[in-house]
Amino acid sequence: MTQAILAGILITALLVQAVLPTRRLVVVSMGAGLAALASSLLGTGTAPELLAQVPWDVIVILVTLGLLSQLFVESRLFGVLALHATRLSHAGPRRILLLFAVGMYVVSGLVNNLTALLLVLPVLLILFKLMGVRQRYVTWTLALVLVSCNLGGAATPIGDFPAILLLGTGVMSFPDYLVRALPVTLVALAGVLGAAFLLVRPGSRLGQTPISATLTLSTMGALYRNVRVERRRLLPPLLLLGCMLAAWVAIPRETGVTPDLVAWLGAGGRSRSPGGWASGLCARASTWRQRCSCCPCS
């Protein structure tokens, strides 16, 4: 009965925050508070006991990576990368599929793949519209990009939540995870793309001509002519991410410098304005804490 009540509160909070995204923090806070209250009244556990079960080490890593992803977004990096991939492809259907799939695999292993995907998709959809491709090509390309995102996220210990959980809790070190996961995901990516190009061939019979390709590239260049990478916003998070990756790879956990401590130092290494980074860190940590407290499995 207790589990059913807590699960009901969690499901209700999830549904309400999905319907009211602008009130997400309030809804999650109320859901966490009600779950803690129900747990205390039903004798399952008090609020301090629930908070003691929260994996703070994992939350610190998640929050820091989320903030770094946000800084990359503000630098317009993903949109510019998508535009460069378009130019390198020369508006060729096969090249577009290959470049965007491989590109999203690489990006998804380092930052929030959902954020990167949402920023790259508009460029990709406009490109499809200008090329006049068939629905079959659009479907297969988007499907392969999504598969590449998932494989890229699984390739590194910071790509998705299960991998971060293994890293943060000390189940597996950064180098050990890379050795086990990176080759497997690369083989899987090569297999998926190979099967798509050899068996499915979504880019065949699209009727692209040099003139249409030139018009497509010219139009894309005109649409995004004012989009530039803001280097002042890009360089600090890029440097921090590089330092964090080097520390995760080179410093053993036995030294006391744990992955969450590296992430914590990384979060404190960049302060754009008084309280800017710190307030964002606190807000995200609060949100993750409330979600964890609201979870019935706590």
Residue 242 burial (10 A CB sphere; 0-12, 13-18, 19+): exposed
Tens of pLDDT along 86-98? 888 887 888 888 9
Measured distance CA(32)–CA(290) in Å, rounded: 5
According to the model, what pLDDT value does residue 63 have? Answer: 84
DSSP state of 200: I
pLDDT of residue 58: 85
Higher pLDDT, 9 or 52: 9
Confirm if 196 and 139 have CB atoms less than 8 A apart.
no
Q: By percentage, how much of the chain surpasses pLDDT 90?
A: 17
Percent of the chain with pLDDT over 70: 88
- In a 10 Å sphere around its CB, with 0-12 CB exposed, 13-18 middle and 19+ buried, how is residue 65 labelled? buried
The stretch 226-249 carries a mean pLDDT of: 87
Decide which of 223 and 233 is more confident: 233
Query: Which amino acid belongs to residue 6?
Result: L
In whole angstroms, what is the distance from residue 188 CA to residue 184 CA?
6
> Which region among 8-22, 137-151, 205-219, 241-255 has the lowest average model confidence (pLDDT)?
205-219
Q: Does 275 score more than 70 pLDDT?
A: no
Quote the crossing angle between the two packed helices 93-108 and 174-195, to the nearest 10°.
160
- Residue pointed to by tokens 């998804």: 108
The answer to whether 78 and 120 have CB atoms below 8 angstroms apart is yes
pLDDT band at residue 272, thresholds of 50, 70 and 90?
very low
Is the pLDDT at 59 greater than 50? The verdict is yes
Asked if residues 217 and 91 have their Cβ atoms less than 8 Å apart, the reply is: yes
Report pLDDT for 187: 96
